[in-house]
Amino acid sequence: MKILSILKFLILCFFVSSCTNSKKNKWKDINVKHSKNDSIVFEKKVSVNTNYDYVFSKDDFKKIIKSQKTFEQIHGEYSIGFIEKEDPFNKAFGFVDSDTLKMPNLENENSLYDFCLLEEIKKEQKQNSEIKCILSEYFNATFGENFGKYLNFIFTDEKSDTIGIQNSYYVNIRGKMTTIHILTRTNKKTLELQKLMDDFGNKAKR
């Protein structure tokens, strides 16, 4: 997925106010604030991929985030998340923080490891084997008119086999840091989650 295509989902994370299940559990009723002055609220039904659970309530974020360390690493308030039913290792979640100074400093490569969600991977892996976090890629990016940063980590076991991937986006939207973190076992699952998020963002925003 191109960097720009995730913009609608990032903005959706920023504006979501509440979401509830419909009776058939195949739709989500979403109330999204959508205006420059943050004053207009509309409700829209969006079809969802039934292979994933959609977690919108701030009270339910622990259904997605299993490690307390992860919550400490990701500053701000939980906004939205998706988790695969068959394999909960594959998931994505968004946060919004009023402090943009906590964005990664790309000039200090060693400091970027502070953004590696290693403990979350360990929780999902449920094995005692040694897991290493490796910084694979990072760069500045523009999301529409919004400035942001992108980090990519891979996780390897004691045999140096890749067991997980992390893609994280940090974007300054209207003076707030909006973040998305995608954790998957394979690149194929990463692309699947990115497409799901892109489709959801397109349907939810009018």
Q: Quick check: 78 and 95 in contact, CB under 8 A? A: yes
* Helices 7-15 and 187-204, axial angle in degrees (round to 10): 60
Residues β-bridged to residue 83: 53, 91
Alpha carbon distance 152, 56 (integer Å): 25
**Sorting pLDDT into bands at 50, 70 and 90, what band is 180?**
very high
Residue 2 above 80 pLDDT? no
**DSSP code string of 102-141:** GS--TT-GGGGGGG--HHHHHHHH---S--EEEEEEEEEE
Q: What is the pTM of this model?
A: 0.84
Span 25-54, pLDDT tens digits: 444 554 444 434 444 444 556 667 788 988
Q: Which residue has the higher pLDDT, 187 or 22?
A: 187
Mean pLDDT estimate for the chain: 81
Q: Which residue has the higher pLDDT, 197 or 120?
A: 120
